[in-house]
Amino acid sequence: MTTPPTLESRLARVEQVIAALTREVSAIRSELASQPARAADRVPTDDTAPLSSREAPQARSATGAPLASVRPPQAKRATSELGSMDFERLLGRYGMLGIAVFAAVAAVGTFLRWAINHGYLHLGPDARVLLGLAFAAGIGVWGMRLRRTERSFGSSLLGLALVIVLVCAYAAGPSFQLVPTWVAFVGSAAVAWALAIFARSEDDEPLWCVAFGGAAIAPFVTSNGSGNLYALLAYALVLLLSACFAISHRLWPVAWRVFYLSSALFVVAGIWLTETHVGDGFYAVFALPLVVGAAGILPFAPDARKRAALRWLAFLALLATAAAGALRSPWLGVAEILVVAALWLLIIDRMRGVEQSSLLARRATSATLLDWIDGAAIPLVLAFRAASLASPSSAAWIVYAAAALMFIVAAWRHPVSSARDATVFAFMATATAVLSELPLESPLGRVAAFLGLSLIALSLHGVRPSSSWVVTGVAVLVFAVDLSVASLVSRRIYTFTPFTTEPSLTALAVTIALVIIARFWRRLFDATCEAMGGRPRRTYAENVRLMVRAVIVAPWAWAFTWVFIELAMAYSPSTSTLLLVTYFASTAVMSVAVGRMNGSAPLRQIGLVLALAAAATSVYGASTYFDIGARVLAYLVTSAFLLGIAYWYRRPGTAAASA
């Protein structure tokens, strides 16, 4: 019968196990501390790639048992490596490599030219091309062998070999006409593609950048000057889509920059070919970055790069609109641009939760700026470019109306954020453009239209809160007021009856609009706070507190200004001045009276200022325009109103009431 172990023996075994684990943890720490750089360099950039024994050797315990490999966080390392590199290392690692490649190619070319010109080498064009290809093959083999021990330098030699192949392809095709141009192009592109596939399988970013860059410039180094636009765009589409697949789920900062430059190269070349060779090639050039974004960036690019890459392609699409100068079917171009603007707004709405990067996510200012670029700048430029293509130009309001409809739908879907602010601003911009383009009756019809748009904007602010509703609504209101003032002062002076002209109706419309805004502003403000989750007022309206006060005072200020303009231009100089004296004096008495009743010191002070203005106007009129009767009447009116004000201020208890 087996004797069960005692408590003391169990405790002894536990102590032995703990001691063994302590020794193993100490061994792991010493191993990681002694070789941190080697462990970091040997970890693949792709998080999904498995660790091989050659790239990440396993740490071993004191007993010799293999331990689980510990990998440092790759995403942080890959994204911060280029940004943390100082200028010296950046110049030494990349700048010196580029200069070295250029110098090596220049050295070979200079030597061969010197030897041929001096008779040391009696080589024909075909022999020169074959010699260059043999030299490129030798460098390529050397680079492949060197990669076993010096991976970075071996990759540089492979890139140098590709450059030499491209030079030989240009010499064999357009330069010496040894082979057809398309043969030289296919050969150089095949070599570049093969090297790019090899670089992707080896997870080698610098080598992939060199290979992809070589494939991008292959059509240009083998060109004879008479390119085919559609063939170039087809090649660009295949190349850029495969590039999106190749660098998918890889945080390769340099590779993405090479992708951006290559896509820009193809768009610029397409614009040039459209302007010099093909008339309606705009449609294909404009579609290239859009197809790449839809079929390449959306399905393959990582979330950290997706919006930035789409934004770059949208900028290229905007650049491509420069080729839409003289289209045989302008409305087809208008429709294409508007469809693209709608798709762009849809993509931004679908990607609302996708962050640009962890850095941008921490910077609210940068995120807000990017939201305004995505939601307002890009689609607005597209809309205005489409409107410029409309023929006849009087039909541009149709384009603006379609764009405004797209923006209001996008704004309705966005939550309270900078994205909603951007799309609301874009809607108001296009709606204002619609009213500017419509053949409205002037001035009454135009002023009424802008006042209506302002009221709509402020009303929608209570339904879908956004600071852009307030800012743009007030801006449109100010524009309508400016139009009304311009129509009032443009009338011929002293030739009309006050308050009976069409400009007077525009001023009345402005007054009604200001009264409506002042009446319902606080209700709209309360609705805004409620729509934002019942937050305190100060969280949303601290920046518009002065605007609220201005809106309450605005109807009175505008009514006073309107009446002043009407009376200042009425009948004749003497009659107008007498009316102004009466107007200033009566308004002064009313201001002091309302200020006394409400205990408002500012109103009483305004009344005193108006009383002084009435006195000054009566003196000016008496010395300039008035005859004896009008002079006496002006002085009597002024005296009566001012005596009333003085009586109020001299009554007992007035000081206490005015305090």
Residue pLDDT, tens place only, 94-106:
566 666 656 665 6
Residue 392 lies in a domain: no
**Tokens representing residue 408 in the block:** 């209001």
Residue of 192 and 411 predicted with greater confidence: 411
Sign of the four-CA dihedral 348, 354, 357, 362: positive
Residue of 89 and 422 predicted with greater confidence: 422
How much is the average pLDDT of 234-253? 78
Q: What pLDDT, on the 0 to 100 scale, is given for residue 303? A: 80
Q: What pLDDT, on the 0 to 100 scale, is given for residue 47? A: 39
Q: Tokens 């001035």, residue? A: 443
C-alpha–C-alpha distance, residues 455 and 34, integer Å: 71
Mean pLDDT is lowest, of 192-206, 248-262, 475-489, 540-554, for: 540-554
Mean pLDDT is lowest, of 3-7, 172-176, 241-245, 590-594, for: 3-7
How much is the average pLDDT of 396-423? 91
**Tokens representing residue 263 in the block:** 């896509």
Q: What pLDDT, on the 0 to 100 scale, is given for residue 279? A: 59
Q: Tokens 């002062």, residue? A: 489
Residue 594 lies in a domain: yes
Q: What is the pLDDT of residues 512-538, one digit of tens each?
A: 999 988 887 766 666 556 555 545 445
Residue 79's contacts (CB-CB under 8 Å, 6 or more residues apart) are 251, 253, 304, 357, 358
Mean pLDDT is lowest, of 324-328, 474-478, 481-485, for: 324-328
Q: What pLDDT, on the 0 to 100 scale, is given for residue 40? A: 42
Q: What pLDDT, on the 0 to 100 scale, is given for residue 235? A: 78
Number of structural domains the chain divides into: 2
**Tokens representing residue 597 in the block:** 């009743």
The answer to whether 263 touches 292, Cβ cutoff 8 Å, is yes
User: Band of the pLDDT at 6, cuts 50, 70, 90?
Assistant: low
C-alpha–C-alpha distance, residues 527 and 284, integer Å: 48
Q: What pLDDT, on the 0 to 100 scale, is given for residue 220? A: 75
Helix/strand/coil for 60: strand
* CA-only gyration radius of the chain, Å: 39
pLDDT higher than threshold 80 for residue 157: no
Q: What value, to the nearest 5°, has the Cα angle with vertex 471 and ends 470 and 475?
A: 115
Residue 552 lies in a domain: no
Residue of 73 and 380 predicted with greater confidence: 380
User: Band of the pLDDT at 228, cuts 50, 70, 90?
Assistant: confident
Sign of the four-CA dihedral 56, 58, 59, 64: negative
How much is the average pLDDT of 469-498? 91
pLDDT higher than threshold 90 for residue 504: yes
Burial of 36 (0-12, 13-18, 19+ CB in 10 A): exposed
User: Band of the pLDDT at 625, cuts 50, 70, 90?
Assistant: low
Q: What pLDDT, on the 0 to 100 scale, is given for residue 599? A: 76
User: Band of the pLDDT at 356, cuts 50, 70, 90?
Assistant: very low
Closest CA to 260 of 217, 309, 189: 309
pLDDT higher than threshold 60 for residue 560: yes
C-alpha–C-alpha distance, residues 451 and 472, integer Å: 12
C-alpha–C-alpha distance, residues 210 and 258, integer Å: 9
Within 1-124, where are the H helices? 7-34, 36-42, 74-83, 87-90, 96-117
User: Band of the pLDDT at 226, cuts 50, 70, 90?
Assistant: low
**Tokens representing residue 613 in the block:** 């203005």
pLDDT higher than threshold 50 for residue 62: no
C-alpha–C-alpha distance, residues 209 and 262, integer Å: 11
C-alpha–C-alpha distance, residues 581 and 619, integer Å: 9
Residue 636 lies in a domain: yes
Residue 15 CA, distance from chain mean position? 64
User: Band of the pLDDT at 595, cuts 50, 70, 90?
Assistant: confident
Residue 261: φ, ψ to 5°: -65, -40
Residue 601 lies in a domain: yes
Residue 640 lies in a domain: yes
C-alpha–C-alpha distance, residues 197 and 191, integer Å: 10
Residue of 489 and 223 predicted with greater confidence: 489
Mean pLDDT is lowest, of 28-32, 211-215, 608-612, for: 28-32
Q: Quick one: angle between helices 74-83 and 253-276, nearest 10? A: 60
Q: What is the pLDDT of residues 454-467, one digit of tens each?
A: 999 988 887 888 88
CA dihedral 349, 353, 358, 362 (to 10 degrees): 90
Residue of 608 and 44 predicted with greater confidence: 608
**Tokens representing residue 277 in the block:** 């060779």
pLDDT higher than threshold 70 for residue 259: yes
Q: Structural domain of residue 27, as residue ranges?
A: 9-38
How high is the mean pLDDT of the chain?
A: 75
Mean pLDDT is lowest, of 135-144, 207-216, 400-409, for: 207-216
pLDDT higher than threshold 70 for residue 493: yes
pLDDT higher than threshold 70 for residue 310: yes
Residue of 4 and 659 predicted with greater confidence: 4
Residue 517 lies in a domain: no
pLDDT higher than threshold 60 for residue 200: yes
The pTM of this model reads 0.71
Q: What pLDDT, on the 0 to 100 scale, is given for residue 237? A: 82
Q: What pLDDT, on the 0 to 100 scale, is given for residue 484? A: 94
Q: What pLDDT, on the 0 to 100 scale, is given for residue 449? A: 95
pLDDT higher than threshold 70 for residue 284: yes
Q: What pLDDT, on the 0 to 100 scale, is given for residue 39? A: 43
**Tokens representing residue 381 in the block:** 């430029």
pLDDT higher than threshold 50 for residue 37: no
How much is the average pLDDT of 476-487? 94
Residue 637 lies in a domain: yes
Mean pLDDT is lowest, of 289-298, 549-558, 592-601, for: 592-601
**Tokens representing residue 7 in the block:** 């408590």
Q: What pLDDT, on the 0 to 100 scale, is given for residue 114? A: 66
pLDDT higher than threshold 50 for residue 428: yes
User: Band of the pLDDT at 275, cuts 50, 70, 90?
Assistant: confident
Residue 210 CA, distance from chain mean position? 30
